[in-house]
């Protein structure tokens, strides 16, 4: 087995271009720790520094035939710097996505849950409204579904405001009584101002 320790860097690179794995091992022995220290000093993570060095040497081996390196130290310095910047950028992007996920996704799940609860509440209200007298049902719809004020409803139905308030109060009592499962949601929703 050859000893590559006496080879100069350029001789190692020439041997590596000819698929000489022994020369590649010697190059790694010479520069593996140095490149690791350069990477670690910037990323402060053992795993990230090891990944940078590993990817650097894998790329060097993969491109061995087309390598055009004149100064191996400069090459490693530039390559480590480039990979460190990519790793930092990747961490920043990853952190942004994680922050987005952590902040947005739970909110989305909460919104979805609220939408389902709201839809169930609306179904229950619709079913129960069928039991209300027609005029009370109409007043309730105009007020709570269409957002009309008591004065607007009174004008539209040609009734007094007291009559509209009566129908609303009666509807609310009836709905609250029969929608006990949704009482908290109904209480919030039905407590909106008239």
Query: What is each CA distance from 186 to 93, 164, 183, in whole angstroms?
Result: 43, 20, 5
| Range(s) of the chain covered by CATH 1.10.10 | 131-190
Cα end-to-end span (Å), the chain: 93
Element (H, E) at 45: none
pLDDT at 85 over 70: yes
pLDDT at 67 over 50: yes
Which pLDDT does position 22 carry in this prediction? Answer: 94
pLDDT at 139 over 80: yes
Which pLDDT does position 128 carry in this prediction? Answer: 80
Class of domain 9-97: mainly alpha
pLDDT at 20 over 50: yes
**Residue of higher predicted confidence among 18 and 178:** 18
Neighbours of 101 (CB within 10 A): 11
Class of domain 131-190: mainly alpha
Query: SS3 for 56?
Result: helix
Range from 100-104, 131-135, 187-191 that averages highest in pLDDT: 131-135
Q: How far apart are CA 90 and CA 88, in angstroms?
A: 5
């Amino acid at each position: 087995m050859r000893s590559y320790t006496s080879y100069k860097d350029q001789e190692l690179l020439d041997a590596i271009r000819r698929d000489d794995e022994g020369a590649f091992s010697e190059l790694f022995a010479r520069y593996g720790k140095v490149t690791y220290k350069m990477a670690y000093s910037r990323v402060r993570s053992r795993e990230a520094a090891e990944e940078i060095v590993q990817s650097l040497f894998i790329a060097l081996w993969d491109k061995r035939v087309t390598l055009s390196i004149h100064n191996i130290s400069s090459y490693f310095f530039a390559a480590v710097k480039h990979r460190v910047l990519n790793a930092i950028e990747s961490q920043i992007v990853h952190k942004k996505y994680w922050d987005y996920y952590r902040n947005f996704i739970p909110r989305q799940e909460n919104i979805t849950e609220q939408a389902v609860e709201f839809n169930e509440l609306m179904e229950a209200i619709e079913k129960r409204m069928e039991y209300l007298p027609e005029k009370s049902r109409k007043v309730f719809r105009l007020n709570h579904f269409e957002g009309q004020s008591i004065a607007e409803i009174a004008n539209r139905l040609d009734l007094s405001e007291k009559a509209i308030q009566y129908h609303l109060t009666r509807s609310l009592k009836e709905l609250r009584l029969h929608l006990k499962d949704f009482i908290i949601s109904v209480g919030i929703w039905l407590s909106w101002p008239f």
